[in-house]
Amino acid sequence: MKNLERVLSPLKIGPMTLSNRVVMPPMGTNLGNPDGTVSEENLAYMKRRARGKAGLIITEISAVHEGGIVGPRQLGAYDDRFIPGLAKLASIVHEAGCRIALQIHHAGRESIHLLSQGKAVGPSAVPSIVFRMTPREMTIEEIKEVIGSFGSAARRAREAGYDAVEIHCAHGYLLTQFLSALSNRRTDEYGGKTLKERSRFVIEVIEAVRREVGPDFPISVRISTEECIEGGYTADDMQTILPDMVKAGTDIIHASFGTHGSPGGITQAPAEYEPGFHAWMARKVKDVVDVPVIAVGRFTHPAQAEEVIGRGDADMVAFGRQFLADPDFLIKAKEGRSEDIRRCIACNQGCIERELLGEGSIRCSINPETGQETVYPEGPAEQPKNVWIAGSGPAGLIAASEAQRLGHRVTLFERDARMGGQIRYASIPPHKEIYGEWIDWLVGQVEKTGIEIKKETSVTGEIVREGRPDHVIVATGGEPIMPAIPGIERPHVSTAWHVLDGRVKPEGNVLVIGGGLIGMETADYLSERGVRVTLAEMLERSPVKKITSHGYMVHKRLRDKKCKLLFSTEITSIGDGFVEVVTAGEKSTLSPIDHVVVAVGLYPRDELKRDMENMGIPHTVVGDAREPRRIFEATEEGARAAWEL
């Protein structure tokens, strides 16, 4: 395509020729076997990604040393026993016509797994910003051992058939720890006051890798161009050592940014950040070195990469989470089907947060195939069924599209005139517009399939009895909870849903009851409109975790807008212009209060479920109708309901 000519042009790096400039960067999956070897799940996941025809695929982190692993299921490259599995991974990517690099890695202090056992090491005994636990300072002998282990791991990559190797020198892991004055307090030859002095460890790692792989094997180094944290090094600082890195043997610079301790979850860029928001850092790299540079920063469409490459900011562009949301996005763009691309919504629920919070292996909130490739049914179903789906929120829409894909006869019912469910409300608060774009896309995809859709129609036991479906998927969502508080029936009390859809427009001093995501985002929405907001939550702290990227940003905006957050607070009565509360056992009156917004969550709509149980009709309950939770649970349950028909 002419408008993607730069992105689709080949690039030669040493003996390696890339068919295009799209890169799939490393993303942790937690799919490895418990011993760190490549699993069947790893192979299936990578095979599905490789079908998307990226020019270069870089594997997830592979440990160079047993004392530097993030967790047991991290892939290993610290022993020859890992070579056969790694070779299978490379072979699968080659079969698809793509090039592959193995990313080699040492966690240093950023491993809760090792920290909790007292086994984590770092350049200095300085606590992890993320985990608040302290590693042991490495001895010179240990430093030399780890340098050698990077070289040995790179040698194994070459033996396993990889086209290149990437050294992980980003995001707060061991190599970044040596670069950073925040974590490297050493006074020997591996410390120093300047970044150039502290770069010795990194340079020696690159040199060791070059010695092991020889002169004709491409080496990429992924850097945090800037730490993005107070007191950390800057992109200008990084420019002082980049020529040394190239001289040591680097062929590619992968210009990422930030650490896992940087504020705002910048390394996991939530929807608050625009696509390509940090491509300028790649430009800073290109200004001082003459090797290919990869730009990073929430890219979701090849046209965005075309612009970055066209400006000369970078030679390649990394699409991380977009490869989880839609591994075929590049193919669709080449075929002129951009409208069919499922664009990442940067929610981080199935990928980053799932691993961060210890919830399991990788998933994608809007693509149920991701991470489930070994159980994803290709279809068609052996016995097609007449399937009714009640509700067209995320769970219902995914269930409908998956059931139809597998050959079932699907009828989708929606009680309202518009499909989309709770996502219609979730897309209204600040920086959530992308959620609305996604649900519009999903509705459009379902409509294109020819599924029979009946809007403004509620499914009842009587209708089911007359229609006689083989199976009913109950995706009827939830209803707002109205707590039994004296005065809640007053006219100046409304729900968050009434506020978000514009039916009610509070002014002046507003109390939001509920500190979960609905309450926090409603407070954010109102504050954006100049309303003075007080938020009250019964729990000691908000369920919206600051450790998550979006959670951090919402908390920050409310703090910046001087919203008053009251935790451990119960509302005892609502009066005319005031509210009685008990905070940590102390009674008080909030006044003046011009409007009260109730945002304490949802309860499942379970009438249809009870009808199906009473009638003995085969059915599956999914999404908020089962239990109000996130997009991730809704889409996964919707998909599995269809797969298990």
Q: One-letter amino acid identity for 228?
A: C
- Give the active site residue among 162, 173, 525, 552: 173
**Rounded-to-integer distance, Cα 572 and Cα 488, Å:** 10
Q: Rounded to whole angstroms, what are the CA distances from 574 to 310, 511, 556, 579, 599?
A: 59, 10, 29, 5, 15
**Rounded-to-integer distance, Cα 567 and Cα 536, Å:** 6
**Rounded-to-integer distance, Cα 341 and Cα 335, Å:** 11
Going by C-beta distance under 8 Å and a sequence separation of 6 or more, which residues neighbour residue 196?
Answer: 240, 241, 244
**Rounded-to-integer distance, Cα 227 and Cα 179, Å:** 10
**H or E segment and range at residue 590:** strand 586-590
Q: Are 280 and 247 in contact (CB under 8 A)?
A: no
Q: Are 638 and 475 in contact (CB under 8 A)?
A: yes
The residues that bridge with 80 in the sheet, in sequence order, are: none
Q: Are strands 579-583 and 569-574 parallel, antiparallel or unpaired?
A: antiparallel
Instruction: Assign 158 to helix, strand or coil.
Output: helix
**Rounded-to-integer distance, Cα 511 and Cα 591, Å:** 10
Q: Rounded to whole angstroms, what are the CA distances from 582 to 338, 536, 537, 572?
A: 54, 10, 11, 7
**Rounded-to-integer distance, Cα 266 and Cα 225, Å:** 13
Q: Are 218 and 163 in contact (CB under 8 A)?
A: yes
**Per the structure block, which two tokens stand in for 346?**
């940067």
Q: What are phi and psi of 11, to 5 degrees?
A: -145, 125
Nearest to 260 by CA among 112, 130, 109: 130
Active-site residue 173, yes or no? yes
Active site residues: 173
